[in-house]
């Protein structure tokens, strides 16, 4: 009986062109959603059943750090998603630097891992931000969004 060929899983490789394109698009979307970020520290939206709030948390010469908070119809903290996003103005890119208070997400992970991140966790988080910003642009209505206790 001939030996059964084994399939080796290919190691995940980060697609830098795709990731850079996504970060550039997120930068444009972010500036369309929050055009006055230099003069204002927060922006709120009602989008569908969700409330979205964007806060400027840090400013420097070439970067601005934002915190995006999406509050869904479920009670906090179950309906809350927090994303930290850094905009690099010289490169015109915006990337996720923190997701649900987790920082330093690598571009590639072995699976399974201690945090149960997927192999392309960084790319997925940036895609999530792209979808959230697109949804805000399409469905968002400007509003004051108050944060529940403990989420500030």
Confidence of residue 49 (pLDDT cuts 50, 70, 90): confident
| Cα distance between residue 34 and residue 47, in whole Å | 15
Domain boundaries defined on the chain: 16-139
Helices 16-33 and 121-139 pack at an angle, to 10 degrees, of: 30
Torsion of CA 104, 108, 109, 110, to 10 degrees: -160
Rama region for 100: left / alpha / beta (φ>0; ψ in -120 to 50; rest): left
Mean pLDDT of 57-64: 96
Pairing of strands 50-59, 63-71: antiparallel
Flag whether pLDDT at 150 surpasses 60: no
| Cα distance between residue 17 and residue 20, in whole Å | 5
Query: What residues are paired with 85 via a beta bridge?
Result: 66, 96
**Which pLDDT does position 48 carry in this prediction?**
81
* 42-77: b (≥16 Cβ within 10 Å) or e: ebbbbbeebbbbbbbeeeeeeebbbbbbbbeeeeee
Contacts of 3 (CB under 8 A, 6+ apart): none
Mean pLDDT of 121-150: 80
Each residue's pLDDT tens digit, 15-43: 789 989 999 999 999 999 999 999 999 99
- Burial class from Cβ neighbours inside 10 Å (0-12, 13-18, 19+) for residue 8 reads exposed
């Amino acid at each position: 009986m001939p030996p059964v060929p084994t399939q080796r899983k290919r190691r995940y490789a980060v697609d830098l062109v795709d990731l850079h394109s996504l970060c550039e698009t997120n930068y444009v979307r972010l500036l369309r959603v929050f055009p006055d970020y230099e003069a204002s520290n927060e922006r709120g939206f009602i989008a569908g059943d969700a409330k979205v709030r964007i806060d400027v948390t840090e400013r420097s010469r070439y970067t601005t750090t934002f915190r995006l908070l999406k509050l869904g119809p479920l009670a906090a903290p179950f309906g809350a998603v927090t994303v930290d996003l850094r905009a690099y103005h010289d490169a015109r890119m915006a990337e996720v630097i923190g997701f649900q208070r987790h920082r330093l997400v690598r571009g590639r992970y072995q699976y399974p891992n201690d945090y149960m991140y997927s192999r392309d966790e960084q790319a997925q988080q940036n895609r999530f931000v792209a979808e959230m910003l697109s949804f805000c642009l399409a469905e968002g209505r400007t509003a004051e969004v108050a944060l529940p206790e403990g989420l500030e």
